[in-house]
Amino acid sequence: MSIVKLHDKYFKSFIKADKIDESIRKMAVLVEQDCEGEIPIFIGILNGSFMFVADFVRAYKGNCEVSFVKLASYKGTGSTGKVKELVGINENLEGRTVIILEDIIDTGNTLEEIFNIFRNKKVKQLKIATLFFKPDVFRKGLPIDYIGIPIPNKFIVGYGLDYDGLGRNLADIYQLTTQKMTNIVLFGPPGAGKGTQADVLKEKYDLIHISTGDVFRYNIKNETELGVLARSYMDKGDLVPDEVTIDMLKAEVDKNGDANGFIFDGFPRTESQAKALDAFLQEKGETINGMVALEVPEDLLVARLLKRGETSRRPDDQDESKIRNRFNEYETKTAILKHYYEDQDKYYGVDGVGSIEEITERLSAVFDTL
């Protein structure tokens, strides 16, 4: 999962576990080369470094010793800069090569206190290795001998790092994000009234309505690069590949980067499209808040579409067999998305029978919870 909620805050995926592992292995090789012929003692700084220390010593191929110290200096999302207590070690460090293993170094306040304590223990040499380093806020003149991954000044959790006690067990690193967008998939069979309701809801909630049909028509009419590509498939009677459709939607979302969120109408239609949409939003630190589906009996929908066909003159709205075939396509291919979002606790069914105002009121009750 690329977005997690810890207490009252959201965090988005930042650094994957495989990149962390690769960085640790490279650091272990460098330290081993520098400590050739010696048995260093590695000092982990608790609580955050326990995962880093464990993986580092596994990657270190030479003989070594390991110990830990604990400092209480952090609370919430920032450093207080006050070191309350040091739980010391019992080993005799005189004449030893000591390497401090830190999970993260930001301002350097805590590190300076630790460094001064160990420097007074008559060690042979004292070195510092940190998995994550924030150069933008580091204010001390201490030497950092080994740096795994430099990062910007973002609050991060995972891989031993926490937010008020939570998040240490995450394998990846996540960074704090403000989940400002509300992204809704508006769902329902042909004739359910999605377009009508989307026009009302986008104004009420100040969201951008993205209709796949409208996006397709715009790109094809204006002969954009994606429109020309889509037309090339359509002219051959082939389905437009998912990647072309999602690229059109990406362009539409990117054009509205300051939006409060989006109502996706007509997309996704398949599970693979839903996964592609999830992946795209996760790259932006966002997610689908919910699928809101209008539920209407098929016979009523058939009657609606036949009546619409009297004025629209659309051939597919004037033939009942064609209409029911569309419903069959919907049920066998598209409705499977209901289970996809149900598995994420993101499916919300809404009674789609009644006046436009009544249905809007029901939809709004769901939107308000999202």
Give residue-wise pLDDT tens across range 206-244: 999 999 888 988 999 999 999 999 889 888 877 788 888
Q: What is the pTM of this model?
A: 0.53
Q: What fold, for 182-369?
A: Rossmann fold (3.40.50)
Let me know if 304 is a catalytic residue: no
Catalytic residue of the set 121, 250, 308, 324: 308
Three-state DSSP class for 141?
A: coil
CATH class of 3-177: alpha beta
Q: What is the pLDDT of residues 301-348, one digit of tens each?
A: 778 777 777 776 777 667 777 778 777 777 776 678 889 999 999 999
- Mean pLDDT, range 274-302, rounded to an integer: 86
Decide whether 3-177 matches 182-369 in CATH topology. Answer: yes
Euclidean distance between CA atoms 80 and 83, whole angstroms: 8
DSSP result, 311-355: HH--GGGT-HHHHHHHHHHIIIIITTHHHHHHTTT-EEEEE--S-
**pLDDT of 349 strictly over 50:** yes
Q: Which of 231, 326, 338, 362 is catalytic?
A: 326
Active-site annotation holder among 12, 134, 202, 269: 269
362 part of the active site: no
Residue 369: Cβ within 10 Å count: 9
Catalytic-residue membership of 324:
no
139 is catalytic: no
Give the Å distances, CA to CA, from 255 to 13, 95, 265, 287.
23, 62, 17, 18
Q: What is the pLDDT of residues 250-273, one digit of tens each?
A: 888 888 877 888 999 988 988 889
CB atoms within 10 A of CB 158: 25
Catalytic residue (choose from 9, 127, 134, 194): 194
Please state, for a pLDDT cut of 90, what percent of the chain lies above it: 48
Q: Where are the domains of the chain?
A: 3-177, 182-369
Instruction: Output the pLDDT for position 83.
Output: 46
